[in-house]
Amino acid sequence: MIEKIKTGSKILVFIALLAAILHYSAFLFVSDTYIKGQGKTDVFANAILSEKDNDIEVLFMGDSEAYSAFSPLAMYERKGFTSYVLATSAQPLYYTQSLLERTLKNQKPKVLVLETNLIYRNIVASDSIAHKIGDIFPIFELHDRWKSVTLNADSSYSSGKDKTIKGYYFSKAIDGVKDLSKYMAPTNELRPIESINRSILDQIIRICHDNDMKVVFVSTPSTVNWNMKKHNGIVDYVKDKDITYIDMNLLTLEEPIDWQRDTRDEGDHLNYYGAMKVSRYIADYLNDHFELNDRRNDKAYYHWQDALQKYNDMIGNELKKGVKG
């Protein structure tokens, strides 16, 4: 019996030590200031952690559809409210939840705008568990940083903040849609939301309500990713909830999407020209329907003016270079 207890204790000590090594080893790769200041992975999205506390009024979340369509600085220039796109490529909903929870520690946004494409992304239960483990042991997320480790870990990523344009992804590439015949073809059929996705979505909505945030679902224009079945599925989901749903694929916009000019990859994602149309529409909508502050002449928000100046300079320079397909 004593032998068994000894063996059991040995195993437990081994596991405990391993857990400690895994947990603390992350700091070998990046210092604490780096994690707080620049985000871990997905630098553009995570750079919200380096924004001033309680600075952001509107959060945009979603996958590549979101960061291709929403430009916070264009919206700021138009209506003066501050916002941030917390979007990552192929973002699964559990990551949305985790990013939101992390962000709400420092920010008190009034509105969450959720791009709906990620609601239909397949989630494998084990991926969700892996993500939770990744939160406890950041090394699993950070491990690939070994390539960039220098004696001064911060310096190798210090440019992350400067590069970001509040989470928006700029692309001026144009690659028009070849066939629009099936785009939003009418149907009464409905694509149901998977139960695991629905459950996480419910939790996200609850978090928003607990934090006095309004929720807006937006389906940004995409001929590849969006269709009527998905639209009907979202309509069905929001019908009994305090959620506004805007499907820009069905709206008759003042500035309609030109599918030959406003997409960078045959209708999958919008480019800069498409993003500006969406950003202008959404900025007007949010400004009209929610009590958002105009910070354009607020001295406490000078850093936003500064960011806008840099953003406009960057856009101007890029557009001057000409359009590449």
Partner 1 sequence: MDSYYSLSFWVVFIPLTALLYQLFPRRLRPLVLLGASYFFFWSISGKLIVYVLFSAYSIHHFGLWLTNLQTECNQLTFDLPKDKRKAIRSEYSKRKKRVLGAGVFLHIGMLFVLKYSAFFLGDLNSLFDFLKLSVNVPIPHFILPIGISFYTMQAVAYMIDVYRGVVVADRNLLRLSLYLTFFSGIIEGPICRYQETAEQLWSGRPITYHSLTFGLQRVLFGVFKKVVIADRLNLLIKTVFDNYSFYDGEIIIVAVIAYTIQLYMEFSGTMDVAIGVAEIFNIKMPENFARPFLALNIAEFWQRWHITLGAWFKDYIFYPLSMAGPIKKINIRFRKYFGYYYGPLLGGSVALLAVWLANGLWHGVGWRYIFFGLYHFALIFCGNLIKPLSLKLTDKLHINRQNLPFRLLQITKVAILVGFGELFFRARSLKTGLKMAYKMFTATSANAFFNNGIYKLGMDRRDFYIIAAALLIVAIIHLMQEKKIDVRKFIAQRPLLIRWSLYYALIMFIVIFGAYGQGYLPIDPMYANF
Binding site for partner 1 (CB under 8 A): 7, 11, 14, 17-18, 21-22, 25, 41, 125-127, 129-130, 133, 139-141, 143-144, 146-147
Integer CA distances (angstroms), 84 to 113, 164, 241, in order: 10, 10, 24
Q: 43 or 190, CB closer to partner 1?
A: 43
CA separation for the pair 80, 308 (Å, rounded): 11
CA separation for the pair 169, 115 (Å, rounded): 15
Integer CA distances (angstroms), 286 to 70, 181, 289, in order: 13, 32, 5
Give the nearest distance from C-beta 99 to partner 1 in angstroms: 15
Give the nearest distance from C-beta 123 to partner 1 in angstroms: 13
- Give Cα 99 to chain centroid, integer Å: 8
Q: 11 or 251, CB closer to partner 1?
A: 11
Dihedral in degrees, nearest 10, Cα atoms 97, 102, 103, 109: 60
Give the nearest distance from C-beta 290 to partner 1 in angstroms: 34
Q: 58 or 142, CB closer to partner 1?
A: 142
At position 232, the amino acid (one-letter code) is: N
Give the nearest distance from C-beta 20 to partner 1 in angstroms: 10
Give the nearest distance from C-beta 131 to partner 1 in angstroms: 10
Give the nearest distance from C-beta 142 to partner 1 in angstroms: 9
Contacts of 252-260 with CB under 8 Å at 24 or more apart are 253/277, 253/281, 254/281, 255/280, 255/281, 257/221, 259/176, 259/177, 259/180, 259/223, 260/174, 260/176, 260/177
Any idea which residue has 């806008």 for tokens? 308
**Beta bridge partners of residue 62, listed in sequence order:** 87
What's 116's DSSP letter?
G
Q: 140 or 290, CB closer to partner 1?
A: 140
Q: 125 or 151, CB closer to partner 1?
A: 125
Q: 25 or 156, CB closer to partner 1?
A: 25
Give the CA radius of gyration of the chain: 22
What's 270's DSSP letter?
B
Q: State the Cα angle at 232 between 229 and 235, rounded to 5°.
A: 155
> What is residue 150's three-state secondary structure?
coil
Give the nearest distance from C-beta 270 to partner 1 in angstroms: 23
Q: 24 or 302, CB closer to partner 1?
A: 24
